[in-house]
Amino acid sequence: MTISCDVDEKNGVIRKEILKIMNIISNENDVEFKIPFSVYLRRPDCEEEEKAYEIISCLFRTKDVTASFKEAQEKIQIKSGERVSNNDDTKFSTNYGFKLKKGENLLELRTKTIVPISDNVYNHYFTLPCMKYTATFNINTDKYSVSGYGFALEDGAASEDNKKNVSYARIGRSLTIRIDEWALPGEGSMFIINPDPN
């Protein structure tokens, strides 16, 4: 997964373009496989509110399935008192069925988000078990920096043999979090955008 981020101080928003690439392995042919995609966003208070979440493209085994993937999207406005968490105003959810072939099935999903500048945290939770995960967050301005970590991956109660190997690499204004083993549902990564103190 790659996240490219721009901070627009003038309009008070953060714009992100997200590319998720997943390689789904199937032992059988013609198996329908649903991946639950959900995004929780605070709505930006600006003229771009309707563009808070956009699906740019969805390719499955190099076939463009963007139109049908968009049709499966559900948008839920979360009213005050019904929030899923403290800062979420809108949930975008897609539970699209992919027809798997035996072997590797490559899925590429490109999306854009716009959130208020105060919504400076990006979380990615696994909804299915995942082997070999890499997330790179690029911030495209000198005024801000990014920090991040993997969560629920390094259980302090786990024995040394059961701890997951999570690596972090920083190059310029980019931060990469990598896991070279199985990650389980509920685990994930978090990136935080902050003004650069330098």
- What tens digit of pLDDT does each residue of 30-42 get? 999 888 888 888 8
Burial code (b: 16+ CB inside 10 Å, e: under 16) for 99-132 equals ebeeeebebebbbebbbbeebbebebebeeebee
Q: What is the pLDDT of residues 36-72, one digit of tens each?
A: 888 888 877 766 667 888 999 999 999 999 999 988 8
Please write the tens of the pLDDT for every residue from 79-106.
Answer: 544 444 545 578 888 888 899 999 999 9
Task: Give the integer Cα–Cα distance in Å for 51 and 47.
Answer: 9
Can you give the pLDDT at residue 82? 46
Question: Considering the chain, what percentage of its residues have pLDDT values greater than 90?
Answer: 48
pLDDT tens-digit readout, 125-168: 888 888 889 999 999 998 999 999 887 665 554 445 556 788 99
Q: Is 152 left (phi over 0), alpha (psi -120 to 50) or beta?
A: left
Q: What pTM was estimated for this model as a whole?
A: 0.85
User: Alpha carbon 4 to chain centroid distance?
Assistant: 11
